[in-house]
Amino acid sequence: MKKTKKFIYLISPNKILSKNFYKILTKLFKTQKIYYFQLRLKNERKNKIIKIAKKVKKITKKYNVKLIINDDPHLANKIGAEGCHIGQKDFDIKKARKLLKNKILGVTCHNSIILARKAIKNGADYIALGSFFRSKTKKVKFFADFNTLKIVKKFSKIDVVAIGGINYQNYKKVLLNKAKFLAISGYIWKNKILSPEKALKKLK
């Protein structure tokens, strides 16, 4: 099975409570499987996000991982992240593209060909499709199917990030259906059986 060496798009837990988090993150980056790391702290104060982001940035830089900030292009620019990821209701795509200039812009497109075309037209560098499976990270409003992924790949060379409930039992199926990156969060951070390092190790 052909795939990129770095095929994981790791999303942070919703809250970062322990200083141990940075040690765990370092161990995960050492595996050389993670291409993107998205800092997604929806309910934190801006000053706390900046403080965490600065610490994370040092680690992502060391291991050549691209740091993506969720929802906020201004913040992505402020801390020198490689890019920003926006949802359909979070930020206007055209405005985000203008603010980010040459930085990476990722856009959530659920299971919609129309949204995918719009994101590509407005300058997205990658799109996220999902949820492909039930997710522990957030309540699933939209389920995606592999047919949508295949259609997008036919009309565009844009990278597709597959999201939603991906784990070691189903990840190969997603890669075989031409997703470039696998977005994972709950499988790593909320795994009741495996440590983050052991969970990631199972994705080969």
pLDDT in tens, 129-154: 999 998 766 666 778 889 999 999 99
pLDDT in tens, 157-186: 999 999 999 999 999 999 999 899 999 999
Q: Distance of CA 40 to CAs 110, 121, 137, 176, 193, Å?
A: 18, 25, 11, 27, 24
Tell me the backbone φ, ψ of residue 79, rounded to 5 degrees.
Answer: -95, 0
In a domain, 160, yes or no: yes
In a domain, 3, yes or no: no
In a domain, 113, yes or no: yes
Q: Domain with 53 in it: what CATH number?
A: 3.20.20.70
pLDDT in tens, 25-63: 999 999 999 999 999 998 899 999 999 999 999 999 999
Which residues lie across from 11 on neighbouring strands? 38
Please report, rounded to a whole number, the percentage of residues in the chain having pLDDT higher than 70: 96
Total tally of structural domains belonging to the chain: 1
In a domain, 2, yes or no: no
In a domain, 177, yes or no: yes
The predicted pLDDT at position 1 comes to 43
| Domain extent for 162 | 8-201
- With contact defined as beta carbons under 8 Å apart, do 114 and 85 qualify? no
The predicted pLDDT at position 185 comes to 96
Amino acid at 116: A
In a domain, 1, yes or no: no
* 5: confidence class by pLDDT, cuts 50, 70, 90: confident
Which residues lie across from 183 on neighbouring strands? 9, 163
In a domain, 155, yes or no: yes
In a domain, 17, yes or no: yes
